[in-house]
């Protein structure tokens, strides 16, 4: 595609003159996209349904795209050479027919509304929330349904997994001893093999590049289909609420960091239920959702020192500040604590939930815990929902929250609290100074203190653990998590009128405010200010990002054996006054991998490291996770965002990435990390499969690190382009 044909930053249309796909032309996989026929407008092939004036339709379109992207990636569906994508559903004697708006080499495809083409008996389930129409019959032609909603598509795809007709892309999943295709541990960490219950995929060696993709027999997933369908419906409903609110209140927060945290209206583009938050009422959602710009005072709990658990490496003027001192300061004036207690902050939802737990009530009755109720200034939830932020506060708070958000309940684990403080201490051994000397613009947002409760038996009391995190982002700092930077959100009206949308609907009415990401706006403004083509500016922005953000992360892996789980939501980009990347920050106390091969060197730096944090991981597992989080989710996700938003040609970005990786792997600028060479030399990578993880009922935060999620084979676009 020509990245300069749409100066307003809109998504490219399949019907635009000069539009080409981002698949590699030499492969002959996806040629120039065909011009949409008139009937395709209703299916979203030639217009962006995310901008549809009917909010539920826009929310359904977003959910459908996420589901279909997951399926294409996780099962290795090939692109259609002409016309719509056709997904075979052999167990149901049907084909899912999907209009293609844009095909992305990196996987961020854009789709219209899918229909089912039936070759056998008509299905029992309805077509879903979209208007039901009679089945189309054309002589002996297959029957074509009305457009399907996201819940119906989730049900249809689940049926194929349950029937065992699904293959794992260009390779295959690990095979258990019983031949089911899965081996591993249950979500609670118990050994389950593959014979019963929660069977799943584990890490396996890569397949040969030319190895066929066999059909892998599978057991019925332990998570019932209606669980996935219910979560899809929940995600769609919440997305509609977010879109409706933000169309009416489109102006970003004046604090850039908070604006990015509030920008993820659609969520993870490759997750089947990106906005699912089961257990949150509508009234609670208005207060606790970053997308709705919620804010709330924290609830406070007085913890007697007999049951207090805490650690702190937070220092001021060379002196350690205890976690209790920090929380009392963060609470603000007026909080009265009983003698011998310290203040522990709670999310309001968690405070209500904890009050129902017998073990908490017992400690309250014993006088060891005293609920103090809400107090203090409002805090704003960040994109994770459970971490809260105030621009003027010296710390952010990562709270425990028992809601199931996407795949997991978000209650902090004690080993994760130890991990955050441990990494802070590790960097203070001199490693941080070495890192900053090589890459002064990058750092880790430190988690130097925590506070929690131990029960009378000495075991951690689940659900009250709190991480205290440095806040390096005052209101004036232009810092944005990458996920928020690339996330489309409604633009505010221009001069009281909606900005020009990206197309007309079939019935002739204009769409609602266009959806643009802040990155699209930045690159468009830079191009207009310099008079350069937008694609050129986007490629330069990408290269600067690789240098300022990705290179320091590779240095830490190569020099210290510490790999970061640097997905887009964990990666904060620092922007200069013009909007170019000038540095970055990594934030997360969970996502560290200490390589087993560096154990002795890390022990010399910090004796006892890993004992309580359980952070050492075999190198092969580290490679798999580092590849997914940094390379696939972060960097290729950025490539896909730039391509699918019409800002750059993905071929050119992948060529630029290859050049960067070559320098990082070889020669005088080599960084010592094995990831650049792995990406350059490996045709098939291992990739996290969010849909299959959801179908198999896994909680990503529970159990051994190598069995928390399903990983599948993924064609490396650096080799296919």
Name the pLDDT band for 185 (thresholds 50, 70, 90): very low
Neighbour tally for 321: CB within 10 Å: 18
Chain position carrying tokens 């959801």: 694
Q: For 542-556, how does the pLDDT look when each residue is reduced to its tens digit (9 = 90+)? A: 999 999 999 999 999
Lowest mean pLDDT among 58-62, 171-175, 670-674: 171-175
Per-residue model confidence as pLDDT tens digits over 556-568: 999 999 999 999 9
For residue 251, how far is the Cα from the chain centroid?
Answer: 24
Residue 594 CA to residue 227 CA, distance in Å, equals 35
Q: Where are the alpha helices (DSSP H) in 561-644?
A: 599-605, 619-626, 637-644
What are the structural domain ranges in the chain?
A: 290-470
In angstroms, the Cα distances linking 430 to 436, 606, 655 are 10, 10, 36
In the predicted model, what is the mean pLDDT of the chain?
Answer: 83
pLDDT tens digit sequence for 132-168: 333 444 445 567 889 999 999 999 999 999 888 886 5
Report the 10 Å Cβ neighbour count for 220: 15
Nearest to 244 by CA among 282, 297, 284, 296: 282
Contact 271, 405 (CB under 8 A): no
How far the first Cα of the chain sits from its last, in Å, is: 15
Per DSSP (E only), the strands in 219-307 are: 277-278, 296-304
User: What is d(CA 328, CA 717) in angstroms, rounded to the nearest whole number?
Assistant: 51
Q: Which one is predicted more confidently, 293 or 194?
A: 293
Token reading at 322? 């205890």
Radius of gyration of the chain (CA): 25
User: Rounded mean pLDDT of 631-650?
Assistant: 99
The CA distance from 72 to 68, in Å, is 6
pLDDT digits (tens, 9 = 90+) for 239-270: 999 999 999 999 999 999 999 999 999 999 99
Higher pLDDT, 696 or 553: 553
With CA atoms as reference, report the closest residue to 539 among 631, 632, 653, 641: 653
Give tens-digit pLDDT for 489-515: 999 876 555 444 444 343 334 445 799
Residue 702 has pLDDT above 70, yes or no: no
Other CB atoms closer than 10 Å to residue 588's CB: what's the count? 25
pLDDT-derived band at 169 (thresholds 50, 70, 90) equals low
**Quick check: 464 and 368 in contact, CB under 8 A?**
no
Share of the chain above pLDDT 70, in %: 77
- Joined tokens for residue 323: 């976690």
Is 90 exceeded by the pLDDT of residue 313?
A: yes
Tokens of 83: 């016309």
Helices (H) and strands (E) in the chain, counts: 22, 32
Residue range 189-204: average pLDDT? 28
Determine the pLDDT at residue 9: 36
449 pairs with which residues across the strands? Answer: 312, 468
Structure token digits, residue 659: 């050049």
CB atoms within 10 A of CB 332: 12
CB 712 within 8 A of CB 201: yes
Residue 66 structure tokens: 């996420």
């Amino acid at each position: 595609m020509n990245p300069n044909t749409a100066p307003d930053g809109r998504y490219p249309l399949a019907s635009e003159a000069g539009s080409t796909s981002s698949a590699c032309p030499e492969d002959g996989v996806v040629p120039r996209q065909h011009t949409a026929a008139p009937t395709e407008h209703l299916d979203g092939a030639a217009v962006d349904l995310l901008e549809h004036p009917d909010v539920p339709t826009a929310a359904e379109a977003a959910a459908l795209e996420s589901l279909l992207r997951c399926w294409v990636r996780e099962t290795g569906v090939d692109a259609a050479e002409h016309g719509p994508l056709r997904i075979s559903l052999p167990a149901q004697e049907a084909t899912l027919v999907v209009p293609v708006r844009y095909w992305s080499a990196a996987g961020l495809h854009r789709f219209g509304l899918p229909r089912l083409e039936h070759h056998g008996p008509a299905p029992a389930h309805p077509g879903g929330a979209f208007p039901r129409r009679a089945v189309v019959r054309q002589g002996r032609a297959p029957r074509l349904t009305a457009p399907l909603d996201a819940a119906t598509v989730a049900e249809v795809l689940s049926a194929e997994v349950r029937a065992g007709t699904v293959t794992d892309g260009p390779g295959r999943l690990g095979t258990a001893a019983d031949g089911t295709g899965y081996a591993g541990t249950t979500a609670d960490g118990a050994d389950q093999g593959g014979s019963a219950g929660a069977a799943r995929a584990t890490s396996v060696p890569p397949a040969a590049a030319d190895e066929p993709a066999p059909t892998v027999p599978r057991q019925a997933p332990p998570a019932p289909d209606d669980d996935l369908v219910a979560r899809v419906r929940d995600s769609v409903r919440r997305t509609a609420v977010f879109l409706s609110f933000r169309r009416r209140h489109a102006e970003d927060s004046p604090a850039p960091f908070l604006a990015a945290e509030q920008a993820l209206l659609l969520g993870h583009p490759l997750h089947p239920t990106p906005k699912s938050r089961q257990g949150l009422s509508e009234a609670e959602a208005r207060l606790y959702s970053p997308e709705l710009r919620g804010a709330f005072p924290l609830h406070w709990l007085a913890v007697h020192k007999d049951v207090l658990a805490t650690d702190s490496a937070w220092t001021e003027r060379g002196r350690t500040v205890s976690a209790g001192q920090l929380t009392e300061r963060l609470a603000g004036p007026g909080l009265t604590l009983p003698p011998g207690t310290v203040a522990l902050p709670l999310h309001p939802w968690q405070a209500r939930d904890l009050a129902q737990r017998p073990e908490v009530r017992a400690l309250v009755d014993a006088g060891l815990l005293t609920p103090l109720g809400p107090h203090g200034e409002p805090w704003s939830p960040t994109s994770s929902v459970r971490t809260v932020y105030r621009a003027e506060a010296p710390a952010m708070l990562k709270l425990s929250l028992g809601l199931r958000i996407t795949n997991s309940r978000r209650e902090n684990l004690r080993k994760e609290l130890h991990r955050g403080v441990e990494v802070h201490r590790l960097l203070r051994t001199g490693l941080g100074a070495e890192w900053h000397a090589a890459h002064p613009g990058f750092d880790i947002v430190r988690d130097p203190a925590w506070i929690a409760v131990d029960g009378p038996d000495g075991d951690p009391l689940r659900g009250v653990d709190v991480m205290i995190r440095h806040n390096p982002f005052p209101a004036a700092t232009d810092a944005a998590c990458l996920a928020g930077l690339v996330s489309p959100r409604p633009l505010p009206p221009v001069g009281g009128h909606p900005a020009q949308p990206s197309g007309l609907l079939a019935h002739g009415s204009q769409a609602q405010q266009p959806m643009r990401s802040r990155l699209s706006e930045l690159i468009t403004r830079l191009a207009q200010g310099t008079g350069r083509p937008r694609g050129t500016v986007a490629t330069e922005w990408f290269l600067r990002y690789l240098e300022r953000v990705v290179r320091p992360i590779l240095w830490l892996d190569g020099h210290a054996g510490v790999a970061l789980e640097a997905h887009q939501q964990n990666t904060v980009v620092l922007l200069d006054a013009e909007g170019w990347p000038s540095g970055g920050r990594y934030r997360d106390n969970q996502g560290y991998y200490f390589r087993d091969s560096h154990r002795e060197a890390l022990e010399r730096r910090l004796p006892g490291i890993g004992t309580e944090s359980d952070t050492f991981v075999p190198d092969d597992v580290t490679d798999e996770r580092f590849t997914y989080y940094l390379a696939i989710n972060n960097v290729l996700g950025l490539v896909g965002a730039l391509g699918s938003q019409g800002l750059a040609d993905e071929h050119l970005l992948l060529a630029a990435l290859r050049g960067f990786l070559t320098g990082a792997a070889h020669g005088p600028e080599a960084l010592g990390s094995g990831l650049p060479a792995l990406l350059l030399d490996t045709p098939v990578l291992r990739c996290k499969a969010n849909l299959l993880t959801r179908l198999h009922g896994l909680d990503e935060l529970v159990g051994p690190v190598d069995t928390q999620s399903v990983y599948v084979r993924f064609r490396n676009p650096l080799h296919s382009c």
